[in-house]
Amino acid sequence: MTNKEFETKLTTIYRTLFDDELAENSEMDNNWLNSIKPFVDAIPDKDFPFFLLVEEVEDTVEFIINVRKGDLFRAKIDEIGHVEDFVPQIKVKDTWESYEVDFSTFLLTEFVDWLWEHAPNKFDMQIWGYGLYVPIKEHWHQFFNPFSYPNKIWIGKEMRSVILLQNENGLLKCLASDKTALDASQKILEN
């Protein structure tokens, strides 16, 4: 995925959940960290920022995403400013290792998780089996399903809701545009 495709996906998620028109991204300069900023800034009453830390260290940028406080990531400065996707690194004990997932995949799914923390119209539920996919496939479409990453995003434009499936911990998180959309989504998913 390119930086522009990433921004388009963020726009789709934003427009599904909010009626507001997003301000033009004046920070869009092919910088992956800047491209997410307008979407974060547009969320009203946010309790905590998306990035807990962003710091340049020599030729890299180290960062922590607030919903993953225990993980320190880094990328080369030239990768952060490049149009094409790349694979960041994560600090494991005292060494840096490849995170083995594209940066766009990581940022997009973590953004939805962060957004869920701020959404007034949300619920979560345990995933007990594959039977849940029947109603999901009927009412939402697979918006983002990276092959090797456990988190998947489903979007329901008609339902005005977004689902984040966190397969590693067996959790479904649903965000909706309003109470009516939330109730409809919850009814479908809990039956």
Q: Which residues of the chain does CATH 3.30.310 include?
A: 119-190
> What are all long-range contacts of 77-83, with beta carbons under 8 Å and residues at least 24 apart?
79/103, 80/31, 80/32, 80/33, 81/29, 81/30, 81/31, 81/32, 82/3, 82/30, 83/2, 83/3, 83/4, 83/30
CA distance 28 to 40: 14
Take residue 49 and report the two structure tokens written for it: 């920022």
pLDDT in the model for residue 156: 92
pLDDT in the model for residue 42: 86
| Domain 119-190 bears CATH identifier 3.30.410 | no
pTM summary value: 0.90
pLDDT in the model for residue 184: 96
CA distance 117 to 64: 16
CB 51 within 8 A of CB 62: no
CA distance 30 to 28: 6
Among 162, 169, 128, smallest CA distance to 144 is for 162
pLDDT digits (tens, 9 = 90+) for 64-100: 999 888 899 999 999 998 888 999 999 999 999 999 8
| Regions in the chain scoring below 70 on pLDDT | 20, 22-30, 145-148
pLDDT in the model for residue 18: 87
pLDDT in the model for residue 28: 52
pLDDT in the model for residue 147: 66
